[in-house]
Structure 1
Amino acid sequence: MPELPEVETVRLGLQPAMEGFRIDRAVANRGDLRFSFQPDFAARLTGQTITGLGRRAKYLLADLSSGDVLLMHLGMSGSFRVVNGAAATTPGEFHHPRSEDRTHDHVVFEMSSGARVIFNDPRRFGFMKIFPRATIEDEPHLKGLGPEPLGNAFDAKMLARACAGKQTSLKAALLDQRVVAGLGNIYVCEALWRAHLSPKRKASTLADRKGAPTDRAGRLVDAIRAVLGDAIKAGGSSLRDHRQTSGELGYFQHSFAVYDREDERCRTPGCNGTVKRFVQNGRSTFWCGGCQK
């Protein structure tokens, strides 16, 4: 499933075609994706201007001139295609042709910008939902989410406070969306490697006996911010079905230090360890026992 950097890449790709423009026509080509579309889904969107296009964790949020918000989730295979005229734009040195199978084009937005924004989702685990902006604090999909890892509220004190007393593993705590929003398996593995922390370490060790952050908490916050920032700059990891909205592959998958590098030599300077894989909470964990303690 796309993680925060991939979703942010999609947001940045959609902005020029959608933000500040009117939805002249919205079409849902089927009745449901992961969930059923609301009966008035297309009607509530048609004629509305998208005043802002944001992101919360792994969700896209389009603010509408009506006061509603369109929440969009990519699921496992969802992606957007921006079409101007007869063809989609596909710039990029690492261009990879998109599938020509249009039977999975489930939602189409015809924008006053002249662009057609098309949501394609073969596995149909994505979804879209409209709700009033005034009720956003009560929206079930957003309620209870932790701070954004790239936001000002996310720091060593906050992370230590959230993990104090937790007997779960450090990796499990970071995957808990109530602790920090938007992190997934790939970037947690990468951040723990950068911080030289074992994914098996207890989460409680990020705080001392008084609840103050340890040096580990500071290193981990810095590592999370750095790995997400690098991934966003590179255009997202583009693993499996994810593509940027232009159709080009992102580049960060070529820079993973530990993820999917089982039995390769660790890239930490001076470390003679080897990247290993084990299953943790049902997910593959990649790490180096030589430098991650």
Structure 2
Amino acid sequence: MTNRYYSPTGGHPPQDQLLTDRAVFTESYAVLPKGTMRDITTSFLPFWDATRLWVIARPLSGFAETFSHYLMEVSAGGGSDRPETDPAAEAVLFVTEGTASLSIGGEAHALEAGSYAYLPPNTDWRLHATGDAPCRFHWIRKAYAGVDGLPRPDAFVTHERDATVVEMPGTDGAWATTRFVAPDDLRHDMHVNIVTFQPGGVIPFLETHVMEHGLYVLEGKAVYRLNRDWVEVEAGDYMWLRAFCPQACYAGGPGPFRYLLYKDVNRHMALPRSL
């Protein structure tokens, strides 16, 4: 099976288009439809050449607070020899289109659509687009929460086709998760997985849990329950959920519904200190 990964390409709607879209930002969740990924909403970063990006999540007080999520577009010949300026930041890269060369500690890795890289904090890494077309990829960043007695995770590069697919028990494969990190590897304080629902697959209860979520729809469409609302989502849309926001899902088809999922895991809850 060949997986398809949606990537935004920017542009602008015509002046005769009505303002009818599905973007919403509530007290417990946000939905950024693919139509919001326009030229006017791009950003730029220091030390990145021929590169633009969409920032689709960032820490906000009182909302989701642990991570940032970028959609990167690196034009042919572009890239960076100093991509990360925060030595405390760990990262996951997931390529959706094009090719790139990723150097980690001087070792080169060829990336293509479906490639996945984990980069621990304070890692010497560089990335440059290869080929004639832009390289588009997700870049998810988090300040690593170290634990005394636990070593930091190692950097690694893999591909979705080589990752472990775990079916949810009792679903006959209708709901499955592609895992790039073992759940019991407590060195990791975040997971970035791919969740796949076959047509008709459901989350048949309202999940309510402490993890924050970022969900980028890679393929297909579904109806997603967020807090009190059912929202329609499709490839290219992004959902951002704060902790304890109830969620459920119905994938109506006609093809698979797949999303890239971020969540924070494996750490004690930070407690406030009295003054």
More RCO (CA 8 Å, sep 6+):
1
State the TM-score, normalizing by the size of structure 1: 0.23
State the TM-score, normalizing by the size of structure 2: 0.24
Higher strand share: 2
Higher helix share: 1
